């Protein structure tokens, strides 16, 4: 896809992101911030937060899309020059979270904008956010190990599935 080509050819060395809170509780936002601090240091991948959507290559959305923020988020999205990518960070931005159907919430970020990548979690750990962004940029590969968990009463039985059932996304 042209978008994948753009992402992997143009953006990997210096991805500038603009962080937008669509109505989040702060949890994801401070984890996004945490990725910039010394233990995680996103800048070593050329990733930095910028102060205006017009300077950005990517939008990082946190939180459920509320009725009041939706038009403003859309404007921020339009202000990002093409080619652009959109990350939805956290369970709320991914699917609306625990308030997905309340009167003031429209749902996840993809109800308003085209979202390219999702990093779920409540909140996702800084490592997860970095890994999600790095995977999108092709800096690392996505590996998914499949397992089946069955809960009966209070005991959870976890069973690893054979390797041929693992879902591994091909990187190019």
Interface residue list for another protein (CB under 8 A): 18-34, 36-39, 49-52, 63-64, 66-69, 71-73, 75-76, 97-99, 101-105, 122-123, 125
What's the closest the beta carbon of residue 34 comes to another protein, in angstroms?
7
Q: What is the DSSP string of 71-103?
A: HHHHHHHHHSPSS-EEEEEHHHHHH-GGGTTST
The number of residues in the chain equals: 172
Q: Look at residues 40, 99, 36 and name the one whose alpha carbon lies nearest to residue 66.
A: 99
Closest to another protein by CB, 27 or 138? 27
Closest to another protein by CB, 7 or 53? 53
Closest to another protein by CB, 43 or 143? 43
What's the closest the beta carbon of residue 6 comes to another protein, in angstroms?
23
Closest to another protein by CB, 77 or 117? 77
Angstrom distance (rounded) from CA 95 to CA 98? 9
What's the closest the beta carbon of residue 17 comes to another protein, in angstroms?
8
What's the closest the beta carbon of residue 8 comes to another protein, in angstroms?
25
Q: To 10 degrees, the CA torsion angle through 72, 78, 15, 13?
A: 180
Q: Look at residues 111, 56, 117 and name the one whose alpha carbon lies nearest to residue 90.
A: 117
Classify the phi-psi angles of 93: left when phi > 0, otherwise alpha if psi is within -120 to 50, otherwise beta.
Answer: alpha
Closest to another protein by CB, 39 or 163? 39
What's the closest the beta carbon of residue 23 comes to another protein, in angstroms?
3
């Amino acid at each position: 896809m042209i978008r994948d080509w753009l992402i992997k050819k143009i953006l990997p060395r210096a991805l500038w992101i603009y962080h937008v809170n669509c109505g989040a509780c702060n949890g994801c936002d401070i984890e996004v911030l945490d990725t910039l601090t010394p233990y995680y240091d996103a800048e070593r991948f050329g990733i930095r937060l910028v102060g205006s959507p017009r300077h950005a290559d990517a939008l990082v959305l946190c939180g459920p899309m509320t009725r009041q923020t939706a038009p403003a988020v859309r404007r921020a999205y339009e202000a990002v020059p093409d080619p652009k990518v959109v990350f939805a960070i956290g369970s709320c931005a991914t699917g609306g979270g625990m308030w997905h159907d309340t009167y003031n919430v429209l749902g996840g970020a993809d109800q308003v904008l085209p979202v390219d990548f999702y990093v779920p979690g409540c909140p996702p750990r800084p490592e997860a956010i970095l890994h999600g962004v790095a995977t999108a940029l092709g800096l690392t590969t996505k590996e998914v190990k499949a397992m089946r968990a069955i809960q009966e009463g209070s005991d959870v039985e976890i069973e690893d599935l054979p390797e041929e059932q693992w879902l591994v996304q091909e990187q190019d």
